[in-house]
A = this chain, B = another copy of it.
């Protein structure tokens, strides 16, 4: 091995090419949806043969899996950042910031949202383990933080909760329980329900199903947030 590492050169080129493949794939996705991610189109864009990509990803599904991971991570970063940017003193503001960041990200990256949450791509089957679930967990952990922030106000609404820890995935609890030791199972259930609420409204909007019903999905979402904080018993801010 030389001083500057000529072996490192190959490796660097490899990393760069891998990055370019992903970059081109994401660009194709942004302009034509998840289905536009074809090896041949990527190769065409890069001045390569489609088969060259097989040196970097064993199969198209592996490429898609990697992209899902990256995009999901970007979403998790966005909502985390919105959360961190607000003060813990005002739960309502925090929750609204998180939710708005979620929706805004989805509207800015509709194809990314589809990639993550839709049929990702023709016959794609999600692998069991891997890093994409990690990003999902980050989002869920963020949601639990949201529920935790509301819990002091909301706890009395859930006295007769039917949930216990066995109702949840161990992998999720592993992340969540250490972070929020005092939180009961009912709060995790609340977090998942809120996830469902927000996901539903956003996904109907992103997929265009709202367009034929309402002209102002924005208003609908803000109403949702207002009702959410109110339902959670959080005093209105200002």
The chain A residues found within 8 Å of chain B, CB to CB, are 33-35, 114, 117-119, 122-123, 126, 133, 136-137, 140, 157, 161-163, 166-169, 171-172, 189, 192-193, 195-201, 203-204, 207-216, 219-220, 222-224, 227, 231
Contact = CB atoms under 8 A, between A and B. Distances in A.
Nearest to A35: B122
Nearest to A170: B215
Q: Give the number of copies in the complex.
A: 2
A137 B157 CA distance: 34
A117 B199 contact: no
Nearest to A214: B168
A192 B221 CA distance: 10
A219 B162 contact: yes
A34 B119 contact: yes
Nearest to A163: B219
A119 B119 contact: yes
B123 A33 contact: yes
Contacts of A212: 133, 136-137, 169, 171-172
A196 B194 CA distance: 11
A34 B34 CA distance: 15
A192 B215 contact: no
Contacts of A133: 212
A161 B226 CA distance: 11
A222 B192 CA distance: 13
A193 B162 contact: no
Contact of A35 (B119, B140, B193): B119
Contacts of A215: 166-169
